[in-house]
Structure 1
């Protein structure tokens, strides 16, 4: 653990919301005191506001009208919102949701109060023939100048437009839109620090996705600051609890992400890679599971995997709405909220190399059921040179973890063990930290995050990790060379 293998964005993990928060008026709750406290406690973060409705939205100044006009289309439920399937591509632009000045102000003021950086996804399906009609985007950008600092995307999952939106836009045409967006921002010094990320590719791992990204990067890779892709482990309509505990399913993201990294290396090697939208299961998650303790296995393992691979930012879908939300409709935090909160409190952005050796394993599959990752800690809680390990144990037996690098080092070990709020029920909607249920008080005060100190004498036998649990081990005072500032090396 003395070698840094990756350095990721300190704002990762971050959060995502669908733009239907405007249509469904969730945006009106942004000043709720409890909700604001929960949001602020996950900062600093990016907030990506996008999703399929990003390609249906129109900015209108001085208007309180929510829908631009009525339209005829078929609808089906997707990720907690209505997904629009247009009968023909001529109807696409007529199906816009209106975002008013007031909506835009509420969104930006929320991000400012929470200490978050907004990433807003512009409508790519406003077209003049084969070209992006940027008039409305230009109006929004002009209105925003000298008011708010915003980062930008353009379009949502354009490689799936034929299926999702009934139209086709080539990778080169998408690239031309990004070039135009860059020109719009270059017109004012206000946007010098603003980033553009895209193209929000989905179906990663497929040959078509690789071809689409390759062509896009050849056309416009120089115009973006980060390459974004979307990834979900499973289908929320058919997945079951067992899938959340299946190491082979958890492992899929590795090959999918490697595809993106390989294309990046060939066509845009200087660009960072962002996992711009992700959760355990698409179509809103799996009811009763994605919002439970069990989801933490997929979430924590995903964070560790992509950090090891060098993905700069991870944006979790969704802060609220859908079964995969971090916060429920009553603004009560769910297990993944507490897991994310603890991660952002403890885990720094320097990723360390870990060599994992398991003794007495029965087969190769057994090894994959125990996963361990390591980072330098954040300095706010622990001294410089400290290391945090985070782990998941998918075995149905207790394991004993031995840390060879600690021998004769004199480090102090703090354990943050997370278990279901309801004992032996991994679909519990609550979570315990070292046996204490995590919840807000009646005055919305956060609980203290009390670790359990591991006695040095127990290190010889190994640290006890119960079955179907996950958590963090902080090696305080480890004086890991890779985690020390240059002045102390």
Structure 2
């Protein structure tokens, strides 16, 4: 209660003390429509090697946190990453977490590439995904309301450098026999950068296209587990000429017409050297815009009408930035990425990761929600998949807002706006089209500490009320203008009456 009173006072005082930005939206047209499963999550396949670390798929706490990411529809979960290209499925249950033996090219499905790397980097060697582990994964995703996309090992190659699909078929046979549900498949992780793992590794874009074509033909033999998603080429981010050329060449192959969801991976900064200021730097946030435009331009150029995906993405690469990617300040990169991606016709954004690394939604030791978890829950509860255009006056790179039709369950015509104040001083944001009472979800850093591991909602710190229960995420009533304190972000729902004709359809 005290927190709500505090916020109310801040709102009133702020109206007298701060400059004002006017935010309007076009109520008459939809500029983009994302998937209803727009926000998804990932697990790194490398967790299989270490028996999932501290996460227990049977844990009521983990299941509760996962289920709360699916308020209206299932959530995509992608199992992939660098380790995916060193993972071998086995029907045996005796080898979980152990390294596979060198095969020297003598058995079907053998991975000769692993021999090259065996003495180079200890974590880049063949390891097993057992049938038992696959069973545990599917039990978890079914209970959690996750739809699984699995990244297959593209480094299983024949002597003439074709993809050896033998092991993939074994996995598919077992999956279909067990009656498991698959959302879709991926083949290879960042294949354009294999040379960074070892200079002798090279899967060209043309070769990857041939491998994807082969995979698409195999999937026709497994109709019950084919799924609706075939995503690739899963390159690194589209901010360097060689990567753009690789992505383009892949999309020009037959596979480009077969993938349902062309995707690339994106991170803003290097987690090893990132600073707190990087996370509120509007120039760094704006860098995503060019990459999205490049991806969309390549799809149009190659004759596609498909939606671009961010197939793996977070704030900082290299496992995240400790004390930043898992802190309050990470929310600015995450929320702006969701808004910018939706506005640029991206179909799905897969967050690296649900668990694992400093950029995870859950703390890697306690499994408690990190600040970005609460942001994600609010986004999925409040924000729909139809996007409206917004305009700010005066234009500001540091006060950033996006508008959508509201999520399912809201009255027809309802609009949700969300955005942030990246300035070190408070500011009033006026919404001339919004009359009457609004529902306001203001998020801020406890005690103004941007490196806090917690986040306040309307002045109240968000924490689980038990191992299986989240607190009520309650808005406060307010009217325009809305005061945003320094370095804060907000969701505003206008569901008292019709605000958008386009949202009525």
Q: Shift in Å at residue 41 of structure 1?
A: 0.6
**Is 1:332 matched with 2:368?**
yes
In 1: Cα distance, 2:370 partner to 2:418 partner: 20
**Is 1:55 matched with 2:91?**
no
Q: Which residue of 1 aligns with 2:448?
A: 424
3-state SS of 2:298 partner: helix
Where structure 1 has 5 or more consecutive residues not aligned to the other structure, the ranges are 72-84, 359-363
Is the CA contact 1:10–1:349 (under 8 Å) kept in the aligned structure 2? yes
TM-score, normalised to structure 1's length? 0.89
In 1: Cα distance, 2:476 partner to 2:273 partner: 39
1:207-230, Cα deviation, whole Å (9 max, x unpaired): 111111111111121221110100
Q: Shift in Å at residue 443 of structure 1?
A: 4.8
1:239-288, Cα deviation, whole Å (9 max, x unpaired): 11111111001110011111111111111422221101111100011111
In 2: Cα distance, 1:32 partner to 1:443 partner: 9
Q: Shift in Å at residue 477 of structure 1?
A: 2.8
In 2: Cα distance, 1:196 partner to 1:454 partner: 45
In 2: Cα distance, 1:90 partner to 1:440 partner: 44
3-state SS of 2:95 partner: coil
**Is 1:185 matched with 2:219?**
yes
In 1: Cα distance, 2:355 partner to 2:383 partner: 23
Is the CA contact 1:158–1:169 (under 8 Å) kept in the aligned structure 2? yes
Q: Which residue of 2 aligns with 1:100?
A: 130
* Count of residue pairs the alignment pairs up: 456
3-state SS of 2:333 partner: helix
In 1: Cα distance, 2:301 partner to 2:230 partner: 20
Q: Shift in Å at residue 173 of structure 1?
A: 0.5
**Is 1:474 matched with 2:493?**
yes
Q: Shift in Å at residue 201 of structure 1?
A: 0.9
Is the CA contact 2:77–2:147 (under 8 Å) kept in the aligned structure 1? yes
3-state SS of 1:320 partner: coil
- Which residues of 2 match residues 80-95 of structure 1 at below 5 A? 88=116, 95=125
Q: Shift in Å at residue 478 of structure 1?
A: 4.0
**Is 1:19 matched with 2:45?**
yes
CA RMSD of aligned residues (A): 2.0
3-state SS of 1:189 partner: coil
TM-score, normalised to structure 2's length? 0.87
1:22-56, Cα deviation, whole Å (9 max, x unpaired): 11111771010101100111122100010000000
In 1: Cα distance, 2:176 partner to 2:303 partner: 29
3-state SS of 2:133 partner: helix
Where structure 2 has 5 or more consecutive residues not aligned to the other structure, the ranges are 1-25, 103-112
- Label 1:377 to 1:94 Cα distance change in 2 as closer, same or farther (>3 A): closer
3-state SS of 1:69 partner: coil
Q: Which residue of 2 aligns with 1:399?
A: 427
Is the CA contact 1:149–1:194 (under 8 Å) kept in the aligned structure 2? no
**Is 1:412 matched with 2:437?**
yes
Of the structure 1 ranges 160-169 and 39-48, higher mean CA displacement relative to structure 2 is found in: 160-169
3-state SS of 1:299 partner: helix
Of the structure 1 ranges 331-340 and 189-198, higher mean CA displacement relative to structure 2 is found in: 189-198
In 2: Cα distance, 1:465 partner to 1:267 partner: 43
1:353-395, Cα deviation, whole Å (9 max, x unpaired): 111112xxxxx7xx21110000011122x31211111011001
**Is 1:153 matched with 2:186?**
yes
- Label 1:482 to 1:277 Cα distance change in 2 as closer, same or farther (>3 A): farther
Q: Which residue of 1 aligns with 2:305?
A: 270
Q: Which residue of 2 aligns with 1:141?
A: 172
3-state SS of 2:233 partner: strand
3-state SS of 1:4 partner: coil
Q: Which residue of 2 aligns with 1:82?
A: none
In 2: Cα distance, 1:187 partner to 1:88 partner: 33
3-state SS of 1:144 partner: helix
- Which residues of 2 match residues 205-354 of structure 1 at below 5 A? 205-219=239-253, 220-328=255-363, 329-354=365-390
Is the CA contact 2:114–2:126 (under 8 Å) kept in the aligned structure 1? no
Q: Which residue of 2 aligns with 1:81?
A: none
In 1: Cα distance, 2:272 partner to 2:118 partner: 31
Q: 1:357 aligns with which of 355, 374, 393?
A: 393
Q: 2:231 aligns with which of 197, 216, 235?
A: 197
**Is 1:111 matched with 2:141?**
yes
1:449-468, Cα deviation, whole Å (9 max, x unpaired): 1111014xxx3xx2111111
Is the CA contact 1:385–1:477 (under 8 Å) kept in the aligned structure 2? no
In 1: Cα distance, 2:244 partner to 2:279 partner: 27
Is the CA contact 1:297–1:392 (under 8 Å) kept in the aligned structure 2? yes
In 2: Cα distance, 1:191 partner to 1:91 partner: 37
Of the structure 1 ranges 322-331 and 273-282, higher mean CA displacement relative to structure 2 is found in: 322-331
Q: Which residue of 2 aligns with 1:7?
A: 33
